[in-house]
Amino acid sequence: MIEDGTGLFTIGRLARSTGLSVRTIRYWSDEGALPPVARSAGGYRLYDAGSVARLELIRTLRELGLGLDAVRRVLAGETTVAEVAAAHVAALDAQIRSLKVTRAVLSTVARRGSTAEEMTLMNKLARLSAAERGRIIDDFMEETFGGLDTADPDIRTRMRFNIGDLPDDPSPEQVDAWVELAELIQDRGFRARMRAMIEFNAADRGPDVAPGTSLWFMSRLVQLAGEALERGVDPASPEADTVLSGLLGDADRAAVLTRMESAAHAEMARFRELSALVRGLEPLSAHREEFAWVVAALRARADR
């Protein structure tokens, strides 16, 4: 306090009373967060008791990680401490999520002994924001289904639901699965195969076919082929004809074979497995054996 009866503080006295450095107080003052209430005859900054309270609030907010711009807005009454705190919590939550993903990536790298190149790719894909990851998925969905209005809508709905995004606190296994899934759905060859499969579906559906019929057909296929496998039915045998008739009716077998070969591709099974792993679920059966049996039975008849 200066000895002139005004009760004002010099910046040095303010520093000693608060434990802050003169340099810090001067910087906050220069930035407009702690303007002096007056100047001495020599031009030195002077502060009052209100400045001390203001300084303590600035220090508290800064220790909580708020920037000076946010501090100035609070002090100017443009926003409240509660509003700034809520925004800061949201920012911290985003940082925490990012750190958790980073931790999962590093754990995966440590476990796998990844190369520097592989680590760079993993980190790049895993650290994508949720919005960016969503754009990758949306782009894949649009390229697969765009313009195919007659395709079974239930297939689109199920596929979009099943393509999981990374959770806020992913495990190393989920990071592994997401990286592989992201690479797969951006692969041009895989996209072309998926598009062809949906084009087949769109071409096969008439205007009166109910949504979900395609999924029902696949369930029926798995059931009948599974029963045939349990009975040991040879795909080339006459008994297999009965199974195919129960499944396909009088449909063109050659056309069905083309569609089945597309749907039974190994990448399709891997796609379903990865989608489940990213969502933290046990992968459902890809029914490889059932699909293979039907394809073998159809091929046996195509060769005759």
Give the separation between CA 238 and CA 227, rounded to whole angstroms.
16
The answer, yes or no, to whether residue 2 has pLDDT greater than 60, is no
pLDDT at residue 70 in the model: 83
Rounded Cα distance, 171 and 42, in Å: 63
- pLDDT confidence bin for 164, thresholds 50/70/90: confident
pLDDT for position 3? 44
What's the confidence (pLDDT) of residue 1?
A: 47
Residues 6+ apart with CB under 8 A from 207: 150
Calpha distance 138→129 (Å, rounded): 14
Mean pLDDT of 30-52: 86
- Residue 65, pLDDT > 50, answer yes
Contact call for residues 91 and 148 (beta carbons, < 8 A): no
- pLDDT value of position 200: 76
Distances (CA, A) of 177 to 137, 253, 264: 14, 36, 21
Most confident of 140-149, 156-165, 170-179: 140-149
Give 271 or 87, the one with higher predicted confidence: 271
Give the per-residue pLDDT at 198: 81
Residue pair 74/81 in contact by the 8 Å Cβ criterion: yes
Average pLDDT, the chain: 79
Cα of first residue to Cα of last residue in the chain, in angstroms, is: 106
pTM score of the predicted model: 0.53
Q: Could you tell me the two tokens for 291?
A: 């699909």
d(CA 172, CA 151): 36
Identify the CA nearest to 2 among candidates 40, 43, 42, 51: 40
| Residue 125 confidence (pLDDT) | 62
Which tens digits make up the pLDDT trace of 100-147?
777 776 676 676 666 776 667 666 666 666 777 788 888 988 988 888
pLDDT for 286: 64
